[in-house]
Amino acid sequence: METIKEYQKDDLTIIWKPKKCIHSGVCVKTLPKVYDPKTSPWIKPENASLEALKSQINACPSKALSYREL
């Protein structure tokens, strides 16, 4: 069974699929205040705007990160 983690900010749900992640570091380099693999939870969506989050997620090369809006 696939592991899926979800993180919420307002009407945006960030979806992370760890098995798809290739650890390219694009997320950490783009939004280091949001993505910090040394902390738990490692995704803190409250540290960026919705626009910045969506832009970064769209740039994820493996598509391990995605989102849905309510």
Q: What pLDDT was estimated at residue 56?
A: 97
d(CA 36, CA 52): 16
For 31-55, the pLDDT digits (tens) are 999 999 999 999 999 999 999 999 9
Per-residue pLDDT for 1 more than 90? no
- pLDDT band, very low/low/confident/very high, at 3 (cuts 50, 70, 90): very high
Q: What pLDDT was estimated at residue 24?
A: 94
Measure Cα distances from 55 to 3, 9, 14, 31, 51 in Å: 24, 15, 12, 10, 6
Q: What pLDDT was estimated at residue 55?
A: 97
Helices of type H across the chain: 26-30, 50-58
Q: Using DSSP bridges, classify how beta strands 5-9 and 12-16 pair: parallel, antiparallel or unpaired.
A: antiparallel
- pTM comes to 0.92
